[in-house]
Amino acid sequence: MTIIYAILIFCLLIFVHELGHFIVAKACGVKVNEFAIGMGPAIFKKQKGETLYAVRAFPIGGYCAMEGEDEDSEEPRAFNNQPAWQRACVLAAGSFMNLLTCVVLLIVIAFCVGQATTTIEQIGEGSPAEKAGIRSGDEIVAVDGTKIDEWDDLIEAIGYSKEDTAEITVLRNGKEEVITTQLKYDQDAKRKMIGITPVMERGVGQSVSAGFVNTGRMTVMMYDTLRQLFTGDVSVSELSGPVGIVYATNQAAKSGMLYVIYLAALLSLNLAIINMLPFPALDGGRLLFLVIRLFTGKRVSDETEGKIHFIGICLLFALMIYVTFNDVLRFIIPIF
């Protein structure tokens, strides 16, 4: 099942990415020679109009091959002969689709799990909350005088408090009561707790909002990781490739389907962000050349740009080999 989940995730993320390029290319009138999922020999292919649709043997990539994408072409509908704004839209569409996929998957998770409210559902036996007299059904409205609007506010106020006690204002039977409780540090969570769990609510509007908010938070986290890679705070040896993804899929599958969906959302956003980096062969690198050629004209030919992107692909493959080797040392060798 791990292999099946991993293949499904790979295929989904690649499909939506290349579908983004394909849809916008067709909408802009660009000639698409082939739309393929997977790499290597074709196990299924069908010519429809000017485009060959193919499913290839190895689910580790895919492509939307446009006329004039990496070479000079005299075809009027070639990619290289389209206005700059249309080419930019085609290039950005793949990452946009991966970003959208992340949002949709996180909306699904939010709806399935529900959103934590500030109303208490359960009190841990022997917990500080129970000893203080906090009850199931109480709604927490403030901590130490600070207003609490959502569960995350409560975690912040209690979990990272510098005090050993807290004054919890609860709404009980329509009246506010202030209860003083001890705070207990949890070694696993690495924060202070009082031993309560929230009532979970499900709603379409709440789930959609949570999907966008959580995507934003995940994006900030990923850009922070990239910053640490460039500053050296995080080593390149920490990166993972396909082997690491399969391992992560295995770990997620043990915890349940929602964890697999979350991993897919994380990888989809990762693909969106990485593809927009200004590096040759990536969509961000192609956008960078698009900007450069707006100022330099034809001094950088399509053929020259194609060669630079080919070098970029080689460097990316070298990086892939490196991270795969590290993944084997980290995840495969210890098994034996």
β pairing state of 139-143 and 146-147: antiparallel
Helix, strand, coil percent values for the chain (each to nearest 5)? 55, 25, 20
* Token pair for 92: 């950005």
Question: How far apart (Å, rounded) are the C-alpha atoms in residues 282 and 241?
Answer: 17
In terms of phi and psi (left: phi > 0; alpha: psi -120 to 50; beta: otherwise), the region of 142 is beta
Select which of 18, 67, 69, 305 is catalytic: 18
Is 167 one of the annotated active-site residues of the chain? Answer: no
Q: Which residues contact 292 (CB under 8 A, 6 or more apart)?
A: 300
Nearest to 11 by CA among 57, 44, 64, 60: 60
182 strand-pairing partners:
165
First vs last Cα of the chain: how many Å apart? 21
For the annotated catalytic residues, the residue numbers are 18
